[in-house]
């Protein structure tokens, strides 16, 4: 059964339809949020909130749109909102928000050392420890979202523009710049 | 070696060429061999040597300024070549450095370039090693993305979500049969009715335009004091019946004159006299009309306008 039909059934109060949709989008949505915030516990909370928001507003979903785009839009907005709020509220351990390039960000990053690694951190370091994962993690949140939606989820530029509420040209620019930064970061790692 | 004039001696041309070092090695060796054995030619050679020596010691003469000016006045002197300006130099530099921009390389690798720019990129790549290596770098980056998989949240994630979802009360579905027909019809009507303001505007426009026209015409007609609805209906019936008489006469004359039409009418006569067949024909025509209207509705009204799903941000 297609996502749209499931969403219609869910809007009519069928719990199994909700569960099926959850099963289909649990991993993709969680992965996007996890790569955006790079914190497993936080990602689970944000993904959970995104699902709850979407499911409680399932009656507003219009079947003429792709369900996956709709739910990714909700999750992406929620995550970006959180990241912006956190940037305003707190000092980021990821480096200065005013850093002009990845090197400056790395220089201003707070180093938290601990002899004993928390279990979640251990899992994260294994999951997100690859070179490309590290490089993606150093991109701006908007660039990160664009790259993940394009290259992990396989959305078209038009769909990304819909999901991120951006003009098509801006999405292109984001992707070009994000990939340019990734290339530079990975070249630095290789050398 | 062939000698002009006296075949036993060297010619003057040969001696001059010998002194000017214009002979090939073989010719020079042959001339030297001859000179060593020929006193006559040795004498000739000495004479030419003196002349060459005198010519070489001639002083340089100054032709004077007038000569120079006369020559230069008639010379087809070209305009001096301009040194390229900054803009031209920048353009030339750009042309020389016209490598494929990074954005175009990315679009090319993602198959997003239109055919013509893609062909230009391919043509450039065929001759530019620098761009080829850049393309390989980009390919390496894009090739790394598919290795990024999905992560799974901790077990119990679905339960935690579902615990907070307010599942709406299920809509009761009646058992099949005649009792569900009104509900289905109602649902169908709901589905057919426009769901957006744009749709209602189109329907409103389509419905109101002919209505306004008809109302205006009726008003114009009956605003005349001598014209009453009864008079007008009688007039229409009279004109209508006379029109039908004329039309029937024309058709019957056409039918009697055309063999094909006559055969067709003869074939259709039993159909027109059978109420059942007429009814079926009417039903088919109605279904066809309804289908056409539905197609029009789907294309004119039900097509979603290009508004993004603004309500998605919940």
CATH number at residue A71: 1.10.1740.10
Whether residue A189 is contained in a domain is answered as yes
DSSP label at B231?
H
Whether residue B40 is contained in a domain is answered as yes
Whether residue A115 is contained in a domain is answered as no
Whether residue A56 is contained in a domain is answered as yes
Pair A73, A163: CB distance under 8 Å: yes
* A20 lies in the same domain as A84: yes
pLDDT at A109: 57
- Residue ending a domain, choose from A90, A117, A149: A90
Whether residue B189 is contained in a domain is answered as no
Q: Please report, to the nearest 10 degrees, the dihedral formed by the alpha carbons of residues B282, B284, B290, B295 taken in order.
A: -150
For chain B, say whether A120 makes contact (Cβ under 8 Å): no
* A79 lies in the same domain as A141: no
* B242 lies in the same domain as B286: no
Separation of alpha carbons B92 and B86, rounded Å: 10
* A5 lies in the same domain as A75: yes
The enclosing H or E element of A191 equals: none
Q: How do the pLDDT tens digits run along chain A, 191 residues long? A: 788 888 888 888 888 888 889 899 999 999 999 999 988 889 999 999 999 999 888 888 888 888 999 999 999 999 999 988 876 555 455 555 556 666 666 665 554 444 455 556 666 666 666 788 888 888 999 999 999 999 888 899 999 999 999 999 999 999 999 988 888 888 766 55
| Cα four-point dihedral sign B87, B89, B93, B96 | positive
Comparing CA positions, the residue from B110, B48, B174, B51 lying closest to residue A151 is B110
For chain A, say whether B313 makes contact (Cβ under 8 Å): yes
pLDDT at A160: 94
Helices within B223-305 (DSSP H only): 229-257, 259-273, 275-300
Whether residue A64 is contained in a domain is answered as yes
CB atoms within 10 A of CB B106: 21
Whether residue B4 is contained in a domain is answered as yes
Question: Could you list the residue range(s) of the whole structural domain that residue B251 is in?
Answer: 229-263
DSSP label at B170?
P
Separation of alpha carbons A49 and A55, rounded Å: 10
Q: Which chain B residues are Cβ-neighbours of A191 within 8 angstroms?
A: none
Instruction: Give me the number of domains chain A comprises.
Output: 2
* B7 lies in the same domain as B46: yes
Q: Across the interface, which of B157, B167, B311 has its CB nearest the CB of A13?
A: B167
Q: What is the CA radius of gyration of chain B?
A: 53
Separation of alpha carbons B118 and B223, rounded Å: 71
Q: List A residues 64-83 in contact with B (Cβ-Cβ < 8 A).
A: 64-65, 70, 73-74, 77
- Residue ending a domain, choose from B77, B112, B142: B142
- Residue ending a domain, choose from A90, A109, A136: A90
Whether residue B159 is contained in a domain is answered as no
* A86 lies in the same domain as A140: no
Q: Which residues contact A64 (CB under 8 A, 6 or more apart)?
A: B304
* A85 lies in the same domain as A133: no
Whether residue A24 is contained in a domain is answered as yes
From residue A7, alpha-carbon distances to A16, A31, B270 in Å are: 11, 22, 55
* A72 lies in the same domain as A133: no
Whether residue A123 is contained in a domain is answered as no
Q: What is the mean pLDDT of each run of 10 residues along chain B (314 residues)?
A: 65 79 83 89 83 58 52 50 65 66 84 84 83 84 82 86 79 56 78 74 83 85 76 87 90 80 78 78 88 80 49 44
Separation of alpha carbons B165 and A14, rounded Å: 12
Question: Could you list the residue range(s) of the whole structural domain that residue A10 is in?
Answer: 1-90
* A21 lies in the same domain as A78: yes
Instruction: Give me the number of domains chain B comprises.
Output: 5
pLDDT at A74: 94
* A78 lies in the same domain as A141: no
pLDDT at A174: 92
Which CATH number fits the domain that encloses residue A166? 1.10.10.10
Which own/partner contact pairs does A1-10 have at CB distance under 8 Å and 24+ positions apart?
A3/A66, A3/A67, A3/A68, A4/A63, A4/A67, A6/A67, A7/A58, A7/A61, A7/A63, A7/A67, A8/A63, A10/A55, A10/A58
Pair A154, A72: CB distance under 8 Å: no
Whether residue A108 is contained in a domain is answered as no
* A75 lies in the same domain as A6: yes
pLDDT at B178: 53
Whether residue B191 is contained in a domain is answered as no
pLDDT at A113: 46
Q: List B residues 114-173 in contact with A (Cβ-Cβ < 8 A).
A: 137-138, 141-142, 144-154, 157-158, 160-162, 164-171
Q: Across the interface, which of A132, A179, A187 has its CB nearest the CB of B106?
A: A179
pLDDT at A104: 64
Whether residue B209 is contained in a domain is answered as yes
């Amino acid at each position: 059964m297609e996502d749209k039909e499931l969403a219609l059934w869910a809007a009519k109060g069928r719990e199994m339809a909700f569960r099926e949709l959850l099963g289909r989008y649990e991993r993709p949505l969680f992965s996007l949020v996890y790569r955006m915030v790079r914190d497993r516990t936080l990602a689970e909370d944000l993904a959970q909130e995104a699902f709850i928001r979407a499911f409680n507003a399932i009656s507003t979903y219009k079947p003429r749109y792709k369900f996956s785009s709709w739910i990714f839009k909700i999750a992406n907005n929620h995550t970006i909102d959180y990241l912006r709020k956190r940037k305003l509220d707190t000092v980021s351990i990821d480096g200065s928000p005013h850093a002009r390039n990845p090197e400056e960000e790395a220089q201003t990053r707070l180093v938290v050392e601990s002899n004993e690694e928390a279990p979640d951190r251990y899992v994260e370091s294994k999951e997100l420890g690859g070179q490309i994962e590290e490089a993606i993690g150093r991109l701006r949140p908007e660039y990160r979202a664009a790259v993940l939606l394009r290259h992990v989820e396989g959305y078209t530029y038009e769909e990304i523009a819909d999901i991120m509420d951006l003009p098509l040209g801006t999405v292109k620019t984001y992707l070009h710049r994000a990939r340019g930064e990734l290339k530079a970061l990975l070249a630095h790692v290789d050398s | 070696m062939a000698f002009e004039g006296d075949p036993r001696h060297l010619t003057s041309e040969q001696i001059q060429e010998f002194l000017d070092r214009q002979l090939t090695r073989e010719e020079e060796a042959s001339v030297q061999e001859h000179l060593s054995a020929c006193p006559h030619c040795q004498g000739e050679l000495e004479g030419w040597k003196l002349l060459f020596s005198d010519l070489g010691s001639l002083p340089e003469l100054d032709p004077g300024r007038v000569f120079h000016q006369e020559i230069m006045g008639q010379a087809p002197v070209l305009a001096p070549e301009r040194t390229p300006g900054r803009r031209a130099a920048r353009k030339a530099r750009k042309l020389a450095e016209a490598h494929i921009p990074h954005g175009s390389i990315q679009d090319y690798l993602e198959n997003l370039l239109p055919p013509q720019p893609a062909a230009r990129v391919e043509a450039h790549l065929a001759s530019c090693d620098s761009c080829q290596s850049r393309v390989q770098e980009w390919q390496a980056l894009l090739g790394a993305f598919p290795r990024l998989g999905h992560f799974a949240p901790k077990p119990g994630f679905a339960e935690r979500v579902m615990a907070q979802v307010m599942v709406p009360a299920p809509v009761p579905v009646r058992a099949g049969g005649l009792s569900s027909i009104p509900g289905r019809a109602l649902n169908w009507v709901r589905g057919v009715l426009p769901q957006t303001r744009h749709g209602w505007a189109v329907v409103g426009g389509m419905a109101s335009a002919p209505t306004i026209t008809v109302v205006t015409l009726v008003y114009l007609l009956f605003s005349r004091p001598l014209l009453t609805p009864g008079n007008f209906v009688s007039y229409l019936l009279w004109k209508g019946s006379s029109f039908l008489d004329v039309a029937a006469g024309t058709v019957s004359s056409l039918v009697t004159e055309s063999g094909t039409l006559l055969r067709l009418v003869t074939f259709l006569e039993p159909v027109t006299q059978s109420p059942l067949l007429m009814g079926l024909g009417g039903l088919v025509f109605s279904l066809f009309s309804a289908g056409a209207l539905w197609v029009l509705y789907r294309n004119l009204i039900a097509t979603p306008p290009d508004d993004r799903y603004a309500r998605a941000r919940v």
